[in-house]
Amino acid sequence: MIYLISLVSGVLNGLFTAAAGQVMIFYLIFILKLDAYKSRATSICCISMITIITFIGYLRFINVKVEQVIIIVLSAMLFASLGSFIMRKIKSNILNLISGILITAISIYKLFWG
């Protein structure tokens, strides 16, 4: 099962650069029954590695402005630290609810306007 989830996560990240983390979190929480906080931390670690490899793959096909990448990475790291600090203060069932609402809203947006 872990190989299937890895395959799905990698393909989603490579194709859309999105949703791989949600697939992994769902698997870790509902199938493996891991704690929500540990699941999110594990997912972020795995997705970070997948994203680096995806980025390297995209470099073969597109030109990237390194300055923009550095600014985005640094600001994302800053706000990721803030987000992980805030996450520890929110109950896991509320985190799952927020995550579900965000994914649903993004899906509806992409379906009709994206």
pLDDT confidence tier of residue 18, bands split at 50, 70 and 90: low
Q: 2 is written with which tokens?
A: 């872990």
Does residue 29 surpass a pLDDT of 90? no
Which residue pairs, CB below 8 angstroms and at least 24 apart, start in 3-11? Answer: 9/46, 9/47, 9/50, 10/50
Note the pLDDT tens digit of each residue in 65-110: 888 988 998 998 899 889 888 888 999 889 888 888 887 887 788 7
Query: What pLDDT score does 74 carry?
Result: 93
CA 83 – CA 12 distance, rounded (Å): 23
| Residue 13 pLDDT level (bands cut at 50, 70, 90) | low
Q: What is the mean pLDDT of the chain?
A: 83
Angle (CA) 95 97 100, round 5°: 110
Flag whether the pTM goes above 0.85: no
11 versus 4: which is more confidently predicted?
A: 4
